[in-house]
Amino acid sequence: MVDLDHLYKEGAAAWPAIAIPIEAFAAAAADRVGGDEPVLAGDLYLAVGLGLGLAAAVAAFEAELVPRLRAALGRAGAADEQITELVQELRVRILVGDGARPARIADYAGRGSLIAWLKVAALRMLANQRRGAARTPWRDGRADLEAAAPGITPDRLLLDQRYGPALREALATGLRALAPRDQTLLRLHYVEGVALDRIGALYGAHKSTVSRWLAAAREGLLAHAIAAVRAIAGGGDTAELESLCASLCSQLELSLSKLAP
């Protein structure tokens, strides 16, 4: 049987700057540990502090763990800008949560090192990004929009079916072409359900600034799709194209908000 009092004392000794009331530690750790399996007290203590949102724990995370995460992603071949965005997304998933799901740090039970646990999560995110995993809105093909917007068929989204293939390809290409920050913003807000003020806290920006960033990302994506459709349509009916563009403007946000996890 794991001795929570012993774990607490050992963890507090490892992180003296992080002050966690013993009652709070016991409540958070009780459901994570059990049996005779060894537990890394210092790592679990830091994880509990992160789950409680303690500033000292977050500072330790940034100073001690983030540089090692960045190094691991760099060794895996990620570019600097991509690393920055992946770490930002990891912060949200691990420390903030995403709508209905709480912060993942609550899943850490101290049976392996915290940095190894975080590296696995970060490298999985990188691998998912590279292969266009189902969690991201930049998959190819017809299934992209249908999965992204359940219940919104191409017939409803497009006024003229003949533009459907061109539009789907344009949206897929446009999403892949967005800057890493814009991809991350769209994913965090529309897929993960993270509020604007929380995203702003991660980027050190006011939520109104984040809102402008999101609007610019949507507009850039829409402009790319419309330009592609106009080029394919050639000398098509101008009124029809304008109506199609209006439909795109009204449906784009809904499509993003219904991206399947």
Least confident of 60-64, 162-166, 255-259: 255-259
69 pLDDT exceeds 90?
yes
Per-residue pLDDT tens for 17-51? 999 999 999 999 988 887 677 899 999 999 999 99
Per-residue pLDDT tens for 95-130? 887 666 778 899 998 988 999 999 988 998 888 877
167 pLDDT exceeds 80?
no
For residues 183-207, give the mean pLDDT: 79
Nearby residues of 2 by Cβ (< 8 Å), 6 or more positions away: 33, 34, 35, 36, 39
Least confident of 4-8, 69-73, 139-143, 256-260: 139-143
Alpha-carbon span 39 to 220, nearest angstrom: 49
For residues 223-234, give the mean pLDDT: 69
Rg of the chain over Cα atoms, rounded to whole angstroms, equals: 22
Alpha-carbon span 148 to 137, nearest angstrom: 7
Render 125-180 in DSSP notation, one character per residue.
Answer: HHHHHHHT-TTSS---STHHHHHHSTT--HHHH-SSGGGHHHHHHHHHHHHHHS-H
Alpha-carbon span 8 to 143, nearest angstrom: 50
User: Angle at the Cα of 44 (from 13 to 70), degrees rounded to 5?
Assistant: 100
Least confident of 136-140, 178-182, 228-232: 136-140
Residue whose pair of structure tokens reads 């004392």 in the numeric block: 9
User: In this structure, what DSSP letter does residue 21 have?
Assistant: -
Alpha-carbon span 251 to 257, nearest angstrom: 10
159 pLDDT exceeds 80?
no
